[in-house]
Structure 1
Amino acid sequence: MWALKYYKCESCGSDFVSCKALKYHFRQKHFGKVHCEKCGQEVLRERLEDHSKSLHDRSTMETHKLNWENLEERNIKSLAAEISKTCRMCARHFGTVLSRENHEIQEHHFTASKRAQMSTGFSPRNMLECKSPQELQRFADKNIRPASGPLSTACVAETGALFKLIQDCFPVPASRVIQGGSYIKGTDTQGCSEIDIVLFSDVFAGVNHCKQQLREGLDALRENLEQTSHGHRILVGKRTPLSLRFNFLCTEGLHSHSFEIMAYYDVLGPAPSTDLKLHLYRKLYLCNDRDVAQLCALALLPYQVDFVKASVVRVKELIRLMIHWFKTSFAKSTEENKFRRLPSSYTVELLTIHIWELAGKPLVFSLVQGMRAVLKLLVRYAEIDVVWHRHYHPKSPIFVKANQKHTRPFILDPVNPTVNVCDTCNAWDEVALVATHSLSKPLLSRVSAEPPWLFTNNW
């Protein structure tokens, strides 16, 4: 691959395999454009003034801070399952949530007043300060919903090109590539776009061989990517044994995508039989090696994506609002409670879908009513008990055993009966506290339930 002659674009540094392709690229991407003196980005000459006004309100330092925060969230997300039993202050693990909470009170003096002080941190101009559903919709369109039109088209083109580049730069051939994350599911927000890529290769003979070769392969992938014309826009995160994480800054705007690249051998294949999936569930249930379990579960990623993507557009809007709520309503972790973990975005997605199903799966509904329903359920988090049976039978031995020992809150992964997605959070009491405060904010304080949300009157 690297022996081919490349024709480099002098404007953006992109590589092309022929002079004709380079000329076509220049006409499509650079003709009639000038460089912004503030950021170096190319924009149409007649739109330069609008570009400066809209994109340079935030400083470059704030943009880099956003990039690093996204990478830190990735690091938190990949930590051990069953984090619910891990202390928020010292990361010590306990057998039950109750024993963990007793430890926090006795050893760290984590009283109710201290929890209130360390939990709530509403950002300025929080969406909960909106006075009406119409004002909330305008807020969401301006600050939460991803950009549309030409900017979205350019973003799709850039990420698509990077997908191809990742496959080309991986040191061994990939037999199949699957994609996940909020960007693929359609639940991404303006400030949070996650893209997961799994490269399946027949070169890996099995799980042990994969674990041995994975670090070297991911290191080679990182080095190859940094040597390409996209390398200056890749911000690499902390090294992990099983994945490569980086943020990729799009050239068409000051936003970035948080990538996580993983690799494994194709356990299930593109069209697995029921018996093959049951065999994988059994393997996951009996597995005592967390790394091996994480690698094996990669084969289930397409089904997780499909489960969320099947929701109607309005549900995805509600998911975006709830993800934004988590990002703008909680106090930042400090050195004292640096091991606090809030629910993952996947947990938020599943919880929101569950609320929508309780309402009868309406195609159109009030976002305010939907937010109110989700927040009221979070206040009663100890009663959350959610299971779907689209990928496994209720009488399946694996499901029965997993269900018998579950603690609440409990949301069983709809495609993996061995994982309670609520276990990635050890601060459900804080979530309930912030949800309670949120319900007293202007947007929600005087709202009463309307059909089809009347079931929330019992909460």
Structure 2
Amino acid sequence: MWALKLYNCELCGSNFVSCTALRYHFQQKHFGKVHCKKCGQEVPGDKLQDHSKSIPHRSTMETHKLNWVNLEERNIMHKATKISKSCRMCCRHFGTILSRENHERQEHHFTANKRAQMSTGFSPHNMLECKGSQELQRFADKKIHPASGSQRAACVAEIDAFLQLIQGCFPVPISRVIQGGSYVKGTDTQGCSEIDIVLLSDVFGSVKHSKKQLREGLEALRENLKRTSQGNRILMGTRTSLSLRFNYLCTESLHSHSFEIMAYYDVLGPTPSTDLKLHLYRKLYLCNDSDEAQLCALALLPYQVDFIKASIVRVKELIRLMIHWFKTSFANPTEENKFRRLPSSYAVELLTIHIWERAEKPLFFSLVQGMRAVLKLLVRYAEIDIVWHSHYHRKFPIFVKVNQKHTRPFILDPVNPTVNVCDTCNAWDEVAHVARCSLLKPLFSRVRAEPPWLFTSDW
């Protein structure tokens, strides 16, 4: 039997059985439209100027005052935004990754040499210069691990007090608070502490998911926090439609925490039934509004946190090392490639846990061997295909449909079968290049796979 030839639209990825059908689709959906360089959306050419004026100005923040310098790239761990199919240079969106890569080569001359120049940026005296496991451990204890003892206790007390202040400044009554981020999961580092706060209120359930009410509530919180005695320790980030982002300076240890605050109503409640969770999965799968899907997915944040927290202490050490590697091994984006997005910290956590599971979950292991295994897999990113079934069955219809259509790399959120967390990155080829260069550094010089990491010998 002859295979049916399909004609693919490079702009949106839709398939058609004839060239005529593809031409008709283009005329109806894309003809006369141009891509806005600020937001990546298609808009009529004669309305581009008015559309550009309607987009809020993205002002540059004085992030050099704080330790956390990537406030603009805070990870949103909920609804995947298909960033993987957007251009690194102009943020134009495509239907397939192949068409996006063709565009980057043809329009921006993004060659292999250019990619190498724009991706690699090893910081001086980084951990890859360590020679052996003992030196790496000393480096991690001094430079990567968060404060401990009385200093950590003071930080925890201060953050708890600040969370109470946030709740008091919110303009409507709060029924429940959900917390997430690396600070809560125990994977934070000295220079990278994320705290995600979800304020749940019954008020938002009675306004039929009005995003206007949510924005007004977060804007009121923003202004109220600035007027408090803690206002001079808060550096507000660029406004977004669904969240409030800022850095908070912790005076006890003179470091900062990156906050992201969102609000919604309690979709699942504190103790949801299995049927209620399955109903939420169906709602997320069928939802056409990405904002609403992201808000509904907030209810799954506690399960994401529990999945990471369940890892042993040694795995969390390895996660910290990998997050630090991402922070210190890549060149900072320039004006030319400002739309480049690296994998989220959540994707790094899941990838590291998967590697540990591949090694049959050893309680004690070499961090050098663990890092080497993760980097080896990143080099072969096109083969990444990771799925867990602790929250949904293999025959669950939504999982089956998502799994049939997935593209690689593929890491399915262990608590949300509708989201591939790899979709938040559009630079996996750069990740592979930097991982390949890292494996040539002194830390991995002459290192060979040892039990239980022998499965990496073929990589």
TM > 0.5 between the two?
A: yes
Report the residue type matching 1:374 in the other structure: V
Which residue matches 1:349?
Answer: 349
Alpha-carbon offset, residue 206 of structure 1: 5.1
Which residue matches 1:51?
Answer: none
Which residue matches 1:440?
Answer: 440
Which residue matches 1:416?
Answer: 416
Kept in 2, the 8 Å contact 1:87–1:93? The answer is yes
Instruction: For residues 394-417 of structure 1, give each alpha carbon's deviation from its aligned partner in whole angstroms, at most 9, with x where no partner exists.
Output: 101110111110000000000000
Instruction: For residues 350-388 of structure 1, give each alpha carbon's deviation from its aligned partner in whole angstroms, at most 9, with x where no partner exists.
Output: 000000000011111100000000000000000000000
- Residues 76 and 272 from structure 1, CA distance in 2 versus in 1: closer, same or farther, beyond 3 angstroms? closer
Which residue matches 1:221?
Answer: 221
Report the residue type matching 2:114 in the other structure: K
Alpha-carbon offset, residue 310 of structure 1: 0.2
CA distance in 1, matches of 2:75, 2:385: 27
Which residue matches 1:7?
Answer: none
Which residue matches 2:365?
Answer: 365
Q: TM-score, normalised by structure 2?
A: 0.85
CA distance in 1, matches of 2:101, 2:88: 9
Instruction: For residues 139-158 of structure 1, give each alpha carbon's deviation from its aligned partner in whole angstroms, at most 9, with x where no partner exists.
Output: 00000000111211110000
Alpha-carbon offset, residue 208 of structure 1: 3.9
CA distance in 1, matches of 2:350, 2:174: 30
Alignment of 1:19-418 (within 5 A): 64-67=64-67, 69-74=69-74, 81-205=81-205, 208-418=208-418
Alpha-carbon offset, residue 70 of structure 1: 3.1
Instruction: For residues 215-269 of structure 1, give each alpha carbon's deviation from its aligned partner in whole angstroms, at most 9, with x where no partner exists.
Output: 1111111111122221111111000111111110011122100001111000000
Instruction: For residues 115-137 of structure 1, give each alpha carbon's deviation from its aligned partner in whole angstroms, at most 9, with x where no partner exists.
Output: 11111110000100001110000
Report the residue type matching 1:204 in the other structure: F
CA distance in 2, matches of 1:420, 1:326: 20
Alpha-carbon offset, residue 77 of structure 1: 7.7
**Which shows bigger deviation, 74-83 or 380-389?**
74-83
Report the residue type matching 1:417 in the other structure: P
- Residues 427 and 206 from structure 1, CA distance in 2 versus in 1: closer, same or farther, beyond 3 angstroms? farther
- Residues 249 and 399 from structure 1, CA distance in 2 versus in 1: closer, same or farther, beyond 3 angstroms? same
**Which shows bigger deviation, 200-209 or 445-454?**
200-209
Report the residue type matching 2:336 in the other structure: E
CA distance in 1, matches of 2:62, 2:196: 25
1:69 is paired with a residue whose SS is: coil
Which residue matches 1:429?
Answer: 429
Percent of counterpart pairs with the same letter? 83
CA distance in 2, matches of 1:79, 1:73: 15
CA distance in 1, matches of 2:187, 2:75: 20
Report the residue type matching 2:242 in the other structure: L
- Residues 423 and 124 from structure 1, CA distance in 2 versus in 1: closer, same or farther, beyond 3 angstroms? same
CA distance in 2, matches of 1:111, 1:307: 39
Report the residue type matching 1:381 in the other structure: Y
1:437 is paired with a residue whose SS is: helix
- Residues 130 and 247 from structure 1, CA distance in 2 versus in 1: closer, same or farther, beyond 3 angstroms? same
- Residues 101 and 76 from structure 1, CA distance in 2 versus in 1: closer, same or farther, beyond 3 angstroms? farther
Kept in 2, the 8 Å contact 1:67–1:247? The answer is no
- Residues 369 and 257 from structure 1, CA distance in 2 versus in 1: closer, same or farther, beyond 3 angstroms? same
Kept in 2, the 8 Å contact 1:174–1:201? The answer is yes
- Residues 387 and 78 from structure 1, CA distance in 2 versus in 1: closer, same or farther, beyond 3 angstroms? closer
CA distance in 2, matches of 1:149, 1:259: 23
Instruction: For residues 305-334 of structure 1, give each alpha carbon's deviation from its aligned partner in whole angstroms, at most 9, with x where no partner exists.
Output: 000000000000000000000010011111
Question: How many pairs does the alignment contain?
Answer: 399
Alpha-carbon offset, residue 76 of structure 1: 8.3
CA distance in 1, matches of 2:134, 2:174: 48
Alpha-carbon offset, residue 336 of structure 1: 0.7
CA distance in 1, matches of 2:207, 2:62: 41
Unaligned runs of 5+ in 2: 1-60
- Residues 202 and 315 from structure 1, CA distance in 2 versus in 1: closer, same or farther, beyond 3 angstroms? same
Q: TM-score, normalised by structure 1?
A: 0.85
Which residue matches 1:22?
Answer: none
